[in-house]
A and B are shown apart, each in its own frame.
Chain A
Amino acid sequence: MASLPDQFNDLEPFIEWSLPNERARNAKRVASPIEEIAKFYETMVPRTEAILEYLDRFELGKLPEREQRLMNLMLALAEVANAVELYKNPAVIDGFDPKRLLLMHER
């Protein structure tokens, strides 16, 4: 079985960005070369409206497995957007180490 919904299976090469939480997504962002991040970003952006339109047919928090993986790709896009759009760099430039943040949220 494909890991993403059929109409989005062209995103399969980026499946390693489908990570379950902020810490994992941020860790992958800051450990990836900016070229790799930009490739993921540039592939995702043109698909974003279609993906959100599709995912909004499901109740929030009640996604089947394949749809959840697709949603996790979107959350990874949200994570890396600043790296591409603002910093042109994987991490915040001269920023505090995000690994030192203690997260208070589970959402």
Chain B
Amino acid sequence: MHDHSGHHADPRPAADRHAGHAIPDPHAGHHASHAEADPHAAHRAAMASSRYSVTTESYTVPDVELIDELGASVALRTLLEGDQPIALNFIFTTCTTICPVMTSTFAQMRRDLGDAAGQVRLISISIDPEYDRPAVLKEYAGRFGAGEGWTFLTGESAAVFRVLDSFDAYAGSKMNHQPITLLKGPGSPSWVRIDGLASGRDLATEVTARLLN
């Protein structure tokens, strides 16, 4: 099932990898006392995105009903097998480390995609369905400016865990949560699986290369 035929992320040192990228300078025009001392090279190294790996997988989406952040029932299979490219991740709203980052990364990816962003449907599935009820997800989505084209899903625990299982994303406990992003083109039988915390630009690049061309 796991053919691992996909390529792995660029193994070059991060500083090289980013040499040509226009990384937004978070200090631009700010704290003057520091500006002249800002060691940009070291800074860029420190801004390195973490490593991630990409594989191509084949998954069978279970036939389950989930609920979106507005409380509407959603047939997952229908949603995923529509005519839009899909980017999917797993989050929970009270997660302390990676989820807010993954959610912000999705938002950044959408900004990086620019005009093409509207073509991709973003889906975030909660792995803490007992707590993440629609109202909780709606508030969370608002905090990250999710809006149109980005669906947050929860549901019966059993259904959510079936989904996790079928995407080989079940880690035993939400506290053992791993950062995974799944991409699928319309009508494609296979999924692109990104393990690791990719940057927004990395994700946008993967989406553009694999879903939009």
Query: Do A and B truly interact?
Result: no
A residues at B contact (CB < 8 Å) = none
